[in-house]
Structure 1
Amino acid sequence: MLFPSRLVQRFFPIVVIFMVVIFGAVYVYSVPFIKEKVYEIERNSSRIALDNVFTIADRMYADTENYQSQTLDANKERLKIVVSMAESYIAQVFQQIDEGPVEGRMSREEARASVFDMLRHFKSRAGDYIWVASYDDRFLSHPDDRFHGKDVSTLKNSDGVVVLPEIIKVATHQGEGFYQYKWNRLSENTQLDKLSYVKNYPQWGFVMGSGVYLEDVAAELEIKRNKALEELRDSFKQLRVAKTGYLFIFDATTNMLIHPNPNIDGTNIQNLLNPVTHKSIADDLINVADTGKELFYKWDKPEDPGNYIYEKLSLVRHVKGFDWYICSSVYVDELKSSSEQLSDRILTIALLSLLVAVAMAFVFIYWVTNPIKQLADAALRVSKGELTATVGFRRDDELGILAKTFDEMVERVRDNIQNLDLKVKNRTVALEKSNQQLMETVRSREDAQQALTQIEERQRIILDLLPAQVAYFDSELTFQFVNQRYADLLNKSKSEITGKALEVLSQKHYQALLDQLMPALAGIESNREYSYWSEGRESITKRFLTPCRNEAGQVVGVLLVALDITSEKEVEKKLLEAQRMSAVGHLAGGLAHDFNNLLSIILGNLVSASEHYQHDTELQRYIKPSIRAAKRGANITSRLLAFSRRQPLAPLPCDIHLLLEETIELLRGSLPSNIELVFDSAATKGLPFVDPGRLEDALVNLVLNAKEAMPRGGLIEFTVTELSIEEGRIGKESAGKESMILDEPVKAGDYIQITVSDSGQGFTDEAMLMAFEPFFTTSTGGVGTGLGLSMVYGFVKQSNGYIKISNEPVRGAEITLLLPSVLAETLSETTEIRAYESPEWKGKLILLVEDDDDVRQVVRELLIKMGFSVIESSTAEEARELINVLDNIYALVSDIRLNGAANGFDLADNFKLAHPQNRVLLMTGYAFDENSGREGKNHYAIIQKPFDIKKLIDAFQIVYEA
């Protein structure tokens, strides 16, 4: 065997010593630490178990509290239900008394006595009873004979409180509520806390209530608490700390609630002493509760009872909700045993590992150092000039690769020396060629720099010509570039701004720009609109700030672009106004169908009732205003559509005096009693040539506006005068006055002037300017729509009239309407009276299609009055089947909007296809021509809902003539 080399002799002892030192250091620094940590882990396991149980107990208390709240809420709801049942019973009895036959019917007092007697014997399943008391503190009904029928206005409970007067005071003030007080149970004298639900019944003149004793609620909670304790006891059976450690619970009175030792469980531990402190073990445990400290004491073991020499540690947590103390208990020697066993095993394993490592180190070092020695010998020979020297061994590991590489390197060095001169010469030639290429690259860079300068100049010219303000700031907020428009904005030249800090701006401009620049320097793009005055006009500008970044992603500057958007804002404003008006039209159109269906039912039934009871003067006095109100409701829909769609009016000579009298009669019932309506009537030769329904709507709007201006009441006065206007002046009826100051100059002609004045607050300056603007309103809280005066204005202008608003001295507002008039003689004195039935229609079969049952019934009765026979359908599908089956259908009357995919037009097309010569009349709730958009298709007569029999006859006459 070869002797170890000097490298082995030197290196191996060092390795051995180093490993021994490491082993000793590891043992010194790790084993005691491991012992300590294992001991701490065992102690912490006791703490964790205790904390987990504490958390469970705390959650149980929270659940108990929640259950208490839920139980109380449930009892409150039960009391409400009990009182509500009694209320329903009383209301039913009184209703039967009021509605029953007179003979044999009990008086109301007898009914009250019967009800109170029944309530005395009422009890719910939960044992609740009901009591009733009058406002003079007397029990009208009470199941306890001590109180029934008695005056208890001075009766006090054990707290010295007069109970019933206080309860009645709460009920009459609040209407209903809960009241807690002390009261005794039935037939008992002990007073307990009680919660009652009390409700006032002013229509019957008494207060009624029902209550629950809080002692009963507490009993339910005690059951819940005991259940929680049993759940904890079950969980403790499965829980152990260390080997024989355990958890236990006792309450604030030192009663042991849970303990694994049956000799201690359920007992009072106040007299158990701590052998260390000689004090009560319970007091010592309470003193360390929630302090984070452990209680050290000595106790016996199960295998050595009565010998209190074994050290124990206890942690204590206090559950404040239940007032419990949860404790962990573990023996100290059990905590240490695991750490000592672990330390012994670690030491044994470390010694064995050290011996194996020393043996392996020797073998490894010898195996590695011997080839190194051979390499060193070969290198020594090469250094002496022997370029043919080789290592002399081959291996398949890294040392073998090193040996092979060394031999190849020596061979390569030998070849390199021979070819070195040739390579140096070739490298010199290549270097000269590279220098020439570098010179050409420098010349190209100079040309590119010149071209870039020209491009930048062109870009500056383009930016100056852009219709925008452009600027660039570096990260220090210094101007690096501005275009000419930005310089013109500041009234400076570009040279005066470029290179300057942001402070070159005005203080206002500086602050506004700085607020937007700071986020941009943080990498946030933004845009903001602002306005300024220039040359007497307001300009609106939108400013965009874009961060500029370098290759590393850092913000190195900010690009500012500002655009003048004044014209776009004006267009946007006009577009919003147009969209708002379009929205009004769409909303009105969507409501028209259903609203007019309802009015068709109301108007049809009112007209039928009026005709049926035409000799009943008293009933006619109520029906006629209702008919006018229903017609006015239809006009409201027409008015909204006319405002949004510019629907043509239907003007005719109008008896203004009769219209004003009917309008005032209609309004008196809807105005407060403190507002008086006065009509100053003067005879006029002419009549206003307007749409009567729209004029009535305008007058109603003016009165309702005046009412809002008189919250404390006042006077609203109507005045009608006749005017003849010459060119630019008033005629002889008002001679001496100057030309009228209205919304525009008045054309010459004859007019009827209607003045509506009030004694209210008048118009503000803003209202005088904005009164006719759509959606402008002075009402607050979302009450006003802002459409009233604008609709009046639209009606007046469509009627070729004039309007003005003003404030009268010592009075309120005054609105004047100037409407064109015609002579009263031009109004036809004859009125066409036509019988409902016609020989042409008698017995003819009409197919009526309407999906609303009530509307269908009204239209059916009108058609029957006209002499038709009617077959009806509620769907287009059913109507199609009838069209295909019946050949003798005289005409089709159908609503345009029907449930399902088909509408009235589709059904009419099908009817015309089957019966080309027969007639079609369509009904609609809209106030515009629904035939529009049907170019190339059949067009049909349409009647507007709601309608009466006269309008229906006129519509059929048109269909017949067609």
Structure 2
Amino acid sequence: LKEQSRLLETIFENINDGLSVFDENNRLIAWNPQYVSILELPANQLKPGMPIESIHPLLSQEAQDSWALDGMALDRDEVNQLRKQRTQRFERHFPGGRVVEFRSNPMPDGGFVTLYSDLTERKTIEAQLRQSQKMEVLGQLTGGVAHDFNNLLAAIFGNLQLLEDSLPAGGKQLRYAQRALSAAERGKSLTQRLLAFSRKQLLQPETTEVDGLIEGMLDLMEYSVGEQTEIQLDLQAADWWVSVDPSQLENALLNLAINSSAAMPNGGSVSFKTRQLTDQLLNGRRCDLLAITVSDTGCGIPQSILRRVFEPFFTTKEIGEGSGLGLSMVYGFVKQSNGDIHITSAEGKGTQIEIWLPRVIETTTQANSTLSTQENTKGSGQHVLLVEDDAQVAQTAEALLESLGYQVTVVNHAAGAMDALDKANDVALVLTDINLGSAVNGVQLSDMINARWSALPVLLTSGLHKQQLKQRYGLLDSHALLAKPYTRDELAVAVHRRLNHPTASLGGQGNDASG
């Protein structure tokens, strides 16, 4: 009996989990050291025979509520009564994001014994898995609707811009058209945010100097957050470069500034800080990092919802006041740019978001040789062969090209395109959709044209994201791509550059054009 007693005592004292025993009157009989440490109780105030009602106030405020495993709040007194009758499992949340599981079992002579397990690490992994699954589902959803939705937007954009040109300045009709065009822009932005969260947004990464980019958008941020919010800069990463889509980085930082401003209805400050971190671990490899920290003096975020802020459509705003895609868009953009993002916040103490991006070494030859967007992009009667199976998009694109000064021939499949090229010897460029709804897609058509007329430039267009085009149609980085929906200006620049600079990067309108 002594040996068994010593064995049980050794197990009781040295197991990793906390353990406590209460009698039928809810009085503490025994406990181990881990019970004290896991529940963060003051050891000098625990005494044998102490009622459970006296122990509860010793817990931190966050840990005094019990939660079912499905997230439902539980009544504390009811749970304590049920613990003496049958097995009970529930959770309590502690400061710093710790989660402790309580597993109580009744004892034959009355009372109950409870095992306490720290589930913080497991919960973190589960949350990451759920986030990954949500992103995968959202990616499949957006990928499935992107083609049709972007085709609709392409037709809406083009027709509204053509209508805008035909209306007298200052009239009501022009305002109506401009209002509809603005709504179409919001639809395009919503699609991009969904794609950004799913990490499938078409990005155009460039070697970017972040300090200069932030300084350059200071006026825009000050205008966007309003007079009550002060913008502070502490930029310490001069001459360090990262590979990102600069326009999307600007959108992400502006989004964070606007969110911070919304958390400070009575005014406050938002600070942008950059710093250089050497030899850090990111995504399983060591590298130099450029850290961007956005901090505010706002109301902060409750710990109960902090872990959900990057979820798509999650918002604390009233219905109609926000889509819930702002922070998820930032999250997706950073992850797609091979970076990482962290958020810390406390109620009444503001919020801090830190973005890590891997440093790249600047070279004298930049990643993308850009052409001036101010150059004349009008056509001068060149013959463009348009291949598009969607009748509305074809009619709109034809009208846009003609308004830009091009002569246009329209066909709706690859066989018609090859026949037209056989008959006409003056075609200067082929603009073709990729998904043509036939056996031969636009990528295959481009390769067929290149094999027979190697000097004839081809510009592909699609509403699908680039990764999906690579997997489904065999798109290569060498193929020039204009993403749908495109504006007339984007179409003008893409066609002009493909005609006049066939070996140059198409920049914002080219292989990864998405806005």
TM-score (norm 2): 0.52
Secondary structure of residue in 2 paired with 1:893:
strand
Select the structure with the greater relative contact order (CA < 8 A; seq sep ≥ 6). Answer: 2
Partners of 2:145 and 2:222 lie apart in 1 by 28
- In the other structure, the counterpart of 2:205 is 650
What is the deviation of 1:922? 1.4
Q: Larger deviation: 585-594 or 779-788?
A: 779-788
Deviations 1:390-447 (A, max 9, x none): xxxxxxxxxxxxxxxxxxxxxxxxxxxxxxxxxxxxxxxxxxxxxxxxxxxxxxxxxx
Q: Identity of paired residues, percent?
A: 28
Q: How does 1:824-863 map to 2 (within 5 A)?
A: 832-833=371-372, 835-836=375-376, 843-850=381-388, 851=390, 853=392, 856-858=395-397, 861-862=400-401
Whole-Å separation in 2 of the counterparts to 1:680 and 1:856: 50
Contact 2:198 2:332 in 1 (8 A): no
Specify which structure has the higher proportion of helix: 1
Name the structure 2 match of 1:869: 407
| Partner SS, residue 771 of structure 1 | coil
Q: Cα RMSD (Å) of the superposition? A: 6.0
Q: Which letter maps to 1:804?
A: I
Q: Give yes or no for contact 1:716–1:756 (8 Å, CA) kept in 2.
A: no
Structure 2 residue aligned with 1:239: none
Aligned to 1:949: 492
Quote the offset at 1:634 in angstroms. 4.8
Any idea what the Cα deviations from partners look like across 1:349-399, whole Å, max 9, x if unmatched?
A: xxxxxxxxxxxxxxxxxxxxxxxxxxxxxxxxxxxxxxxxxxxxxxxxxxx
- Would you say 1:904 and 2:442 are equivalent positions? yes
Residue type of the partner of 1:679? I
CA offset at residue 796 of structure 1? 3.8
The answer for the alignment partner of 1:757 in structure 2 is: 296
Equivalent positions of 1:481-560 (< 5 A) are 508=85
What residue number does 1:590 align with?
144
- Corresponding letter in the other structure for 1:650: P
Deviation at 1:883, TM superposition (A): 4.8
Q: Secondary structure at the match of 1:686?
A: coil
* Residue 940 to residue 815, structure 1, CA distance change in 2 (3 Å): closer
What is the Cα deviation at residue 586 of structure 1? Answer: 1.8
Change (3 A) 1:936 1:954: closer
Deviations 1:256-294 (A, max 9, x none): xxxxxxxxxxxxxxxxxxxxxxxxxxxxxxxxxxxxxxx
What pairs with 1:231-246 in structure 2 (closer than 5 Å)? Answer: none
CA contact (8 A) 1:637 1:927 kept: no
Q: Structure 1: how far apart are the matches of 2:270 and 2:160?
A: 30
* In the alignment, structure 1 residue 924 sits paired with structure 2 residue 462: yes
Please tell me whether the aligned partners of residues 402 and 408 of structure 2 are also in contact (alpha carbons under 8 angstroms): yes
- Counterpart contact for 2:384–2:430, Cα < 8 Å: yes
Partner letter of residue 941 of structure 1? Answer: A
* Contact 1:663–1:696 (8 Å) recurs in 2: no
Contact conserved, 1:848 with 1:873, CA < 8 A, in 2?
yes
Deviation track 1:276-314 (CA, whole Å, cap 9, x = no partner) reads: xxxxxxxxxxxxxxxxxxxxxxxxxxxxxxxxxxxxxxx
Deviations 1:698-725 (A, max 9, x none): 2354356457656xx4336433345455
The structural deviation recorded for 1:764 is: 0.8
Instruction: State which of 257, 271, 274 in structure 2 corresponds to 1:719.
Output: 271
1:607–1:591 Cα change, 3 Å: same
The correspondence for 2:330, drawn from 783, 789, 792, is 792
User: Which digits, 9 at most, give the CA deviation of each residue in 1:763-806, with x for residues without a partner?
Assistant: 11222344345665545779876553343234345364654332
What is the letter of the counterpart of residue 656 of structure 1? I
The alpha carbon displacement at 1:844 in A equals 4.0
The structure-2 alpha-carbon separation of the partners of 1:900 and 1:943, relative to structure 1 and needing over 3 Å to count, comes to same
- Give the C-alpha shift of residue 748 in structure 1: 9.5
Query: CA distance change for structure 1 residues 696 and 582 in 2, over 3 Å: closer, same or farther?
Result: same
Contact 2:234 2:272 in 1 (8 A): yes
Unmatched runs of 5 consecutive residues or more in structure 1:
1-505, 513-530, 540-566, 617-622, 729-742
3-state SS of the aligned residue for 2:430? strand
Rounded to whole Å, the distance in 1 between the matches of 2:443 and 2:363 is: 44
What runs of 5+ residues in structure 2 fail to find an aligned partner?
1-82, 90-101, 105-113, 171-176, 506-515
Equivalent residues in 2 for 1:101-112, closer than 5 Å: none
Q: Which residue of 2 aligns with 1:661?
A: 219
Q: CA deviation at 1:642?
A: 4.1
Question: Which secondary structure does the structure 1 equivalent of 2:466 belong to?
Answer: coil
Matches within 5 A, 1:382-393: none
State which structure, 1 or 2, has the greater radius of gyration over its C-alpha atoms.
Answer: 1
Q: Which residue of 2 aligns with 1:804?
A: 343
Task: For residue 587 of structure 1, report the CA deviation from its aligned partner.
Answer: 1.9
Alignment of 1:430-829 (within 5 A): 508=85, 579-597=133-151, 600=154, 634=188, 637-645=191-199, 650-651=205-206, 652-653=208-209, 655-662=213-220, 665=223, 667=224, 676-680=228-232, 686=238, 689=242, 690-703=244-257, 705-706=259-260, 709=263, 713-715=265-267, 717-723=269-275, 751=290, 753-757=292-296, 759=298, 761-772=299-310, 777-778=315-316, 787-796=325-334, 798=337, 800=339, 803-807=342-346, 809=348, 812-817=350-355
The one-letter code of the counterpart of 1:715 is G
Could you tell me the TM-score, scaled by structure 1's length?
Answer: 0.31
